[in-house]
Structure 1
Amino acid sequence: MRIRFSPPRPATATAAVALAALVGLFGAAPARAQDDAIRLGMVLEPPILDPTASAAAAVDEVVYANLFEGLTRIGPDGAVLPGLASAWEVSADGLTYRFTLREGVTFHDGTGFDAQDVVFSLNRARAEDSLNAQKTLFAGIDSVTAEGPTSVAITLTAPDGNLPFNLAWGDAVIVAPETADTNATAPVGTGPFRFVDRVEGDRVELARYDGYWGAAPALARATFRFVSDPNAAYAAMMAGDLDAFPNFPAPETLAQFEADPRFNVIVGTTEGETLLAMNNQSGPLAEPKVREAIARALNRADIIDGAMFGYGTPIGSHFAPHHPAYVDLTGLTPYDPDAARALLQVAGTGPLTLRLMLPPPTYARRGGEIIAAQLREVGIETEITNLEWAQWLEQVFKGHDYDLTVISHTEPMDIGIYGREDYYFGYDSPEFRRIMTDLAATADPDARAALMGQAQRRIAEDHVNAWLFQLAKTGVADARLDGLWQNAPTQANDLTAVRWTR
């Protein structure tokens, strides 16, 4: 994610019925894995299996809370919960956090876990040569000190009430010095499941770790299968080749699943701000009027209906609508093609052709085609290139070699990425960075909410990107399964509470 691929054609209701005829009549329970196993479908394949060395959400979707754990973790309701740390306390000046670690924890290779592993992991994540995609999570750490085998002190350069939340990200999981360098292909963590096998292009297999420190999961085995094509995903669920598809790529077929008692359709929220990202350093896109014109050329409602079959909430900035500090800024750039044409004329761009790079998810491929048509209406042509996920990460995210791309940012509360001068948006705003600095140093909830509102307005008024919709979580599962997350407060398929009920 630079081979060109044809985008998948949207499956229609007629196609869905035809597929149903191929895979069998409704009524009989689908074949399933054994009572202690599960087969999950995912659209994207993780490029590696180390969440501390990749920005791909698909990595966390396999390993977060299953294979790797951090000092803290995010629960299904979004709360920050104890992880490898059973408790923590904060000094009166807010500069030092002391974490009490769990005893009796081992890594999957049988080696013990202690405070030195925490020191190693956090220092590795924040090192100058770190490959961590979210190094800013650790930027405020001054030192990490082991105060005994089960106690760690983290000293900050300034008070930061977000530290327990930051340490709950997949990028902050604890790894062992002995295996850190090989986690990309042979991951070793402390979680309830251990790595068994990976077949590239097909699946990753996990098995229950018998030496786990916590409650043993009901599942003994889990297989994550990668199915990028919406039609194939539909057929696999109907045929019983998969037990669940937590982020189902064919929302147009959900009505068929809802009408079938063999399945549960699980609709919830995600942290995924879906946007038409723009390279602010690329030619005409360096001009804010051009970026505003692009935003005004887009009809969010048509994109949500056409790409997501109505599943999605319009947004006007990079913030989740279900967050208490959300500010509705969709009215700042309403759909107005005449205004878009006028802005382009004022900007003096002349005929404009932009490169639109699309990663594999359905929302991107289908949405990209609709966006291209809407931009054409105001005089902007696009050259579409469909990229595989690893290609997108290399060319767009790391290489900044693109004009436009459609992507959903699924990390929780990640508006801070706009303060990163080296980020792939190419946005550089001292004012925005000041807001984020003030936010990090503010503890009062009302004051924090006000600053979050300022941050949302700043990037919206600068028209950094064209924000489209908050991605809905649309999942399909065998009706006999229980414990899958309805919402996605972080990018995870947490299997710790999943079980078969009958």
Structure 2
Amino acid sequence: MTHRFLTSAAVLALIAGPALAAPDAITLGMVLEPPNLDPTAGAAAAIDEVVYANLFEGLTRFGPDGSVQPALARSWDVAEDGLSYTFHLVEGAQFHDGTAFDAEDVKFSLDRARAEDSANAQKALFAGIEAVEVVDPATVKVMLKAPDGAFPFKMAWGDAVIVAPESVAEAATHPVGTGPFAFADWVQGDHVTLAAFDGYWGDKPALSKATFRFISDPTAAFAAMMAGDVDAFPNFPAPETLMQFEADPRFAVIVGSTEGETILSMNQRTPALADIRVREAIAHAINRQDIIDGAMFGYGTPIGSHFAPHNPDYIDLTGLSAFDPEAAKALLAEAGQSDLKLRLALPPPTYARRGGEILAAQLATVGIQTEITNLEWAGWLETVFKGHDFDLTIVSHTEPMDIGIYARPDYYFGYQNEAFNAVMEQLETTSEAGERSALLKQAQEILAKDYANGFLFQLAKTGVANAKIEGLWANAPTQANDLTGVKWLD
């Protein structure tokens, strides 16, 4: 196991205490352990679940209602032609290693993220940047290739946090940010601990310490909550037990929405899946409600495209891919696929493992056989996301309003549609709200009618917490466990 520590004696004292939370400390459960702790060089949602708004900060940030709020940029101005943003930075901020934060760090971070050799999983967020100019230590100007009304939104992603050249090389295992909490230790396979940072520039958090414990087994998660070994499990993996918690006054059950479009991703590099008739057949073979009931115990909202139902621009397109096994069989026959066999790779979350078994049975009823392979998260990222070595997989895309991933030329599911790309390009340069809404609706329809993937359900956020804890997010506008407003009630 790997242990890494800050040299501060205060931090060492904080982590030497008992496992149970003190009134100013909290232990949170998480299903997945992050593969690293650098959100600027990793695609796993678990990274942001630990560090977003806690350890790292960006120019902007998402609030609990999904709004874009100031962060390291206290304000910004947009040029009349929309081709530049001038960000006015907070002053007096410092990184956890004592180095000062200023505009040079912003330029370094944005240039690093958009560089040709960038390892950023969301490099497309920065593709519209023409240049970054340091005006003075507290002001940075970002020039764009074309107007982009969504630029502050893009800068709120976890992938856009600000890092420092002095410490970024070790960010994967010893992250250094400007947030209210500093990295304390990581015992791999068990937990990550953060401790309140005395030199934080903003409002001090009520918590002195936060420990994220990794518990992937639903039964073990239930036992840990009941025993008080964890104080909260914001994304609880055993929804079948929520009724027990609701009946127990010691706990609060927190149910909200997420940005997690849960999809059956189809690798269109696989010859059979390049045929729209096969993709449509698979879509009609899926009974979404059975998957929601069987895998999520009723928690989840059916979707017909890659878009969150709580978004005001959402349109319900589930009818285009309604459950219709006979239509599925006819489409497979028309495509000449009488004995189709596909590989189904499943990552660890319960929605994937439980949902995958149900979905495999549904596909079998229309004549599609599946070979299931269960992968750990690191293996899924390497084999499926990076290696494209799969036919089908189930995963929740938890990034905020990420419909643009379907325009990426080498994204893991290999979707290509010039009409969709054109809509995305137009969206990039459109700032008027009504026009953007119309384009987003058009994009949803293209994906639905092209059966780009099997659209299953919007992942619900089902959490359990000690009833004396206040401030945990009910909804998840981004993949985060923001602890900046969390406290224990007296």
Aligned to 1:485: 473
1:218 equivalent to 2:206? Answer: yes
2:303 and 2:309 in contact (8 A); partners too:
yes
2:138 paired residue among 150, 153, 175:
150
Shift of 1:194: 0.3
2:303 and 2:458 in contact (8 A); partners too:
yes
Shift of 1:349: 1.7
Deviation digits for residues 336-376 of structure 1 (CA, Å, limit 9, x no counterpart): 00000000000002211110000000100000000000000
Shift of 1:425: 1.1
Shift of 1:281: 1.0
1:460 equivalent to 2:448? Answer: yes
**What secondary structure, in the 3-state scheme, does the structure 1 residue paired with 2:156 have?**
coil
**Structural mapping, 1:351-366, within 5 Å:** 351-366=339-354
Letter in 2 for 1:402: F
**Structural mapping, 1:124-143, within 5 Å:** 124-143=112-131
**What secondary structure, in the 3-state scheme, does the structure 1 residue paired with 2:130 have?**
strand
Aligned to 2:14: none
1:204 equivalent to 2:188? Answer: no
Deviation digits for residues 76-99 of structure 1 (CA, Å, limit 9, x no counterpart): 011100000111000111111000
Letter in 2 for 1:492: A
**What secondary structure, in the 3-state scheme, does the structure 2 residue paired with 1:457 have?**
helix
1:48 equivalent to 2:47? Answer: no
Aligned to 2:162: 174
Structure 1 distance, partners of 2:164, 2:429, is 32
Aligned to 2:4: none
More deviation in 106-115 or 443-452? 443-452
Structure 1 unmatched ranges of 5 or more: 1-30
Q: Percent identity over the alignment?
A: 69
Shift of 1:442: 1.2
Letter in 2 for 1:37: A
1:265 equivalent to 2:253? Answer: yes
Structure 2 unmatched ranges of 5 or more: 1-18
**Structural mapping, 1:317-332, within 5 Å:** 317-332=305-320
2:149 paired residue among 161, 179, 195:
161
Aligned to 1:274: 262
Letter in 1 for 2:34: P
2:68 and 2:152 in contact (8 A); partners too:
yes
Structure 1 distance, partners of 2:326, 2:216, is 37
**Structural mapping, 1:22-101, within 5 Å:** 32-101=20-89
1:429 paired residue among 401, 417, 425:
417
1:499 equivalent to 2:487? Answer: yes
More deviation in 157-166 or 440-449? 440-449
Aligned to 2:179: 191
Shift of 1:32: 4.7
Structure 2 distance, partners of 1:316, 1:248, is 25
Structure 2 distance, partners of 1:457, 1:421, is 20
Deviation digits for residues 45-91 of structure 1 (CA, Å, limit 9, x no counterpart): 10000000001000000000000000000000111000001110001
Shift of 1:445: 1.1
**Structural mapping, 1:288-299, within 5 Å:** 288-299=276-287
Structure 2 distance, partners of 1:428, 1:337, is 27
Aligned to 2:367: 379
Structure 2 distance, partners of 1:283, 1:307, is 30
2:338 and 2:367 in contact (8 A); partners too:
no
2:103 paired residue among 115, 122, 129:
115
1:405 equivalent to 2:393? Answer: yes
Letter in 2 for 1:192: P
Shift of 1:427: 0.6
**What secondary structure, in the 3-state scheme, does the structure 1 residue paired with 2:382 have?**
helix
Structure 1 distance, partners of 2:201, 2:321, is 51
Shift of 1:283: 2.2
Structure 1 distance, partners of 2:431, 2:175, is 37
Letter in 2 for 1:472: A
Shift of 1:430: 1.2
Letter in 2 for 1:93: D
TM-score by length of 2: 0.96
Structure 1 distance, partners of 2:171, 2:350, is 29
Shift of 1:447: 1.1
1:449 equivalent to 2:437? Answer: yes
1:469 equivalent to 2:468? Answer: no
Letter in 1 for 2:54: N
**What secondary structure, in the 3-state scheme, does the structure 1 residue paired with 2:136 have?**
coil
Letter in 2 for 1:373: A
Shift of 1:421: 1.0
Aligned to 1:251: 239
1:367 paired residue among 349, 355, 358:
355
Letter in 1 for 2:37: L
1:103 paired residue among 91, 100, 104:
91
2:304 paired residue among 297, 300, 316:
316
Letter in 1 for 2:403: I
Structure 1 distance, partners of 2:467, 2:20, is 11
Structure 1 moving runs of 4+ over 6 Å: none
Structure 2 distance, partners of 1:281, 1:289, is 15
Shift of 1:414: 0.2
Shift of 1:265: 0.1
Structure 1 distance, partners of 2:20, 2:256, is 24
**What secondary structure, in the 3-state scheme, does the structure 2 residue paired with 1:147 have?**
strand
Letter in 2 for 1:50: D
What is the Cα-based RMSD across aligned positions, in Å? 0.7
